Chain A
Amino acid sequence: MNKEEIMAGSELRLDISLHNKRLLDLILGSFPSVASFCQEKAFGHTELGLYINLKKSPIRKTTGKYRTMCQRLADIFFVDVDWLFPLELYSLEKTSLSIEMRAEHISFHKCTQIAVEPEQYEVYELNNLKEKIDFVLSTLTPREERIVRMYFGIGGEDYNKSFILIAPEFDVTSQRVRQIFVKAMRKLRHPSRAYKLKSFVE
């Protein structure tokens, strides 16, 4: 294709790829990124990427058994290897494809919400947000977590309480509650925790 044809063609390209959601969720549920997981658990980043992107079969052809790396991954997350690497998923012929499209075909707000029913997308987003908030709060100390939950009324705590109302529950002064709250918020703002929630703010 020459330059003129390219410039006369479609402006947009939609690259769609399939990934192993279970593996990705388990990794990103406990580590900030796939790279940090690989570093900590001594896995090859490229090879793990092949399993996540469904490019390599988890079954060894010669023996018909799961590869050692897949078995190790399942052991790390205490799950069944058959569940983590469903064979039907790895037997797909095509795991990525590209669609060319014109800019005028972007007719709705988020053009790339492909294959997503709007309500379903919102529910997924909300569930995801709740899971992530719970995860981020669980990284604080129990007292900090409870104070933040009580102050903002998150999950279970029925209403937003002031520092004065929270203080008697911990047998400290309201000023001390404020100090703990401020420290917790400072921890939550740290990039290692904030990155998980940042996408929901944007």
Chain B
Amino acid sequence: MEQLHQEEVLIRACTRNNRLFGLMKEHGFGGKGRVNVAAFSRKIGIGQNVIGDLLNIKIIPMHSKNSRFGRSGEYIHAALKIAEYFNVEVEELFPIDMYLKVKCSKTERPATLEELPKLISLMESYCTEPLSGIPIPMKIMEGSHE
């Protein structure tokens, strides 16, 4: 069995809506590095699962073609209510392009201890200047080829 599990580490990456995350933190729903969806849900009266799905980019915040709850292309009720609570434009808080681009919000990759320091230092270096032009995941991929 030990031969089957050569890699020691599992690197897990989750994408989140940074604006919603930041606003929730700013309004006191969360602490360092995390947000309290339960408290936010109780405050605005929307289900935790919908907020979680919007935060973690798991659903597109618009009604689909065959939706029974609204016309196609309109933002869903939860998205409108969240934007209204924070007093921001719903299009800015939930940019539809971003939701359409993110096909998979969570991914995993096994790694060995030997390659881990290199990967971590690469990721950390992008934290300091994350918007320097080239897509960050691409850079990390380049690094892993080295």
The residues of A with any CB-CB pair to B shorter than 8 Å are: 1-3, 6-7, 9-22, 24-26, 79-80, 83, 86, 88-89, 92, 94, 96-103, 105-117, 121, 124
Contact = CB atoms under 8 A, between A and B. Distances in A.
Contacts of B120: 92, 94, 97
Nearest to A24: B10
Contact of B136 (A3, A15, A94, A105): A105
Contacts of B13: 14-17, 112, 114-115
Contacts of A96: 33
A108 to B, nearest CB: 8
Contact of B135 (A13, A107, A124): A107
Contacts of A100: 18, 130-131
B22 A1 contact: yes
- Residue of B23, B93, B136 with most chain A CB atoms under a 10 A cut-off: B136
* Across the A-B interface, the 6 shortest Cβ-Cβ residue pairs: A6-B22, A13-B18, A103-B98, A21-B10, A105-B135, A19-B10
A114 B12 CA distance: 9
B8 A22 contact: yes
Interface stretch (B36-44, B45-53, B67-75, B105-113): B105-113
A10 B102 contact: no
Interface residues of B, number: 59
A97 B135 contact: no
19 contacts: A1-B22, A2-B26, A6-B23, A9-B19, A16-B11, A16-B13, A18-B10, A18-B11, A22-B5, A83-B2, A92-B120, A96-B33, A99-B123, A99-B127, A101-B136, A106-B135, A115-B141, A117-B141, A117-B145
